[in-house]
Amino acid sequence: MIHYFKKPIFQILFFGILLGIVLILIYGARQPEMKDRKIVIDDADLAHMIAGWQRTWKRMPSKKELQGIMNAYVRDEVVYREALNQDMDENNATVRRALISQMDMLAEGQGAEKPITAEDIQAYYDLRKERFMAPPYIKFHQVYFKNNDSDSLLLYQKAEQWNLENLPPEKAASEGNSSMLPPRMNLQTAEAIDREFGTGFSDKLLQLPEDQWSGPVNSGFGSHLIYLDTIVPARLLSLEQVEDEIIDMLKYEEKQAAKEQFYTELLQQYEIIYQGVSKDLLNE
């Protein structure tokens, strides 16, 4: 140990620590000045917030959005002031953002200490089962017809005729008009089907009977006769299938709750003063 203290770097470190202890004993720990605990929002501040919003969204914010902007400003200012009070002291926009992020990470870290139990996971799963539903899957064939080439009655009659003839989907493909649309989709989600045929097309398919021709079913491209092979209904995923996802959600929510509690406790130490238009907005 004595060998280490002979090195200059350790001597400097030791005397630095010693000096810090002496200064604290003489002057006490640094306390934030009262002016650091007062945040004033006036018309100039509000105009700056509105200008920033307009640059991002290319429009004026609503009253509710303005109130949200002011709340976010107060939150950032409180956290920034607290960072300065802890001697993280630099005054430019980049460092300000970095200090706020650093304080947020510090607050989030307080929520990462609590272990997640099997009971926590089960309770989360039981309360939010609607989040863990696997979507329905649909397998179908389609024959495309341009809207101008056929009317609904004729297409309906064609579907009935194909059912009487037990026409296989593969043979029916040549009966329609050519297109870039897929003639068959094998067990796809509603999202994947709607990407191909347009929003809402999958909802129409879910209403059709299986193992027969139906239609016409309209899309943004035209009309379709549909042979619905299979619908795999939506189903609840098991706890084992979503356990890792639930753990991630619980960790995130605990971090957010810790950050919110941290901010709430900080806010109680500050006096927030609204002046001019900003005061009127909050009172509405």
DSSP string, 40-70: EE-HHHHHHHHHHHHHHHSSPPPHHHHHHHH
Place of tokens 């356990």: 243
| 102-134 confidence digits (pLDDT tens) | 666 666 665 556 788 899 999 999 999 989 999
* Res. 79 pLDDT band, cuts 50 70 90: confident
Rounded Cα gap, residues 50 and 28, in angstroms: 42
pLDDT band at 262 (very low <50, low <70, confident <90, very high): confident
- Residue 22's pLDDT band, with cuts at 50, 70 and 90, is very low
Domain termination residue (choose one: 233, 254, 269): 233
pLDDT at residue 150 greater than cutoff 70: no
pLDDT higher for 164 or 269? Answer: 164
User: What's the structural domain count of the chain?
Assistant: 3
Same domain, 129 and 168: no
13 and 40 both lie in a single domain: no
Q: Are residues 142 and 127 in the same domain?
A: no
Asked if the model's pLDDT at residue 24 lies above 70, the reply is no
pLDDT of residue 92: 52
Write out pLDDT tens, residues 162-174. Answer: 999 999 998 888 8
250 and 201 fall within a common domain: no
Of residues 127 and 11, the one with the higher pLDDT is 127
Question: Are 122 and 244 part of one and the same domain?
Answer: yes
Please tell me the distance from the alpha carbon of residue 162 to that of residue 22, in angstroms, as a whole number: 96
Residues 249, 125 share a domain = yes
Rounded Cα–Cα distance for residues 80 and 71 (Å):
14
Whether residues 276 and 228 share a domain: the answer is no
pLDDT surpassing 50 at residue 2 = no
CATH no. for residue 220? 3.10.50.40
pLDDT surpasses 70 at 153: yes
pLDDT of residue 231: 93
The verdict on 100 and 164 lying in the same domain is no
User: What Cα–Cα distance (Å) separates residue 91 from each residue in 30, 111, 271?
Assistant: 19, 29, 21
**Are 168 and 214 in a shared domain?**
yes
- Whole domain around residue 195: which residue ranges? 136-233
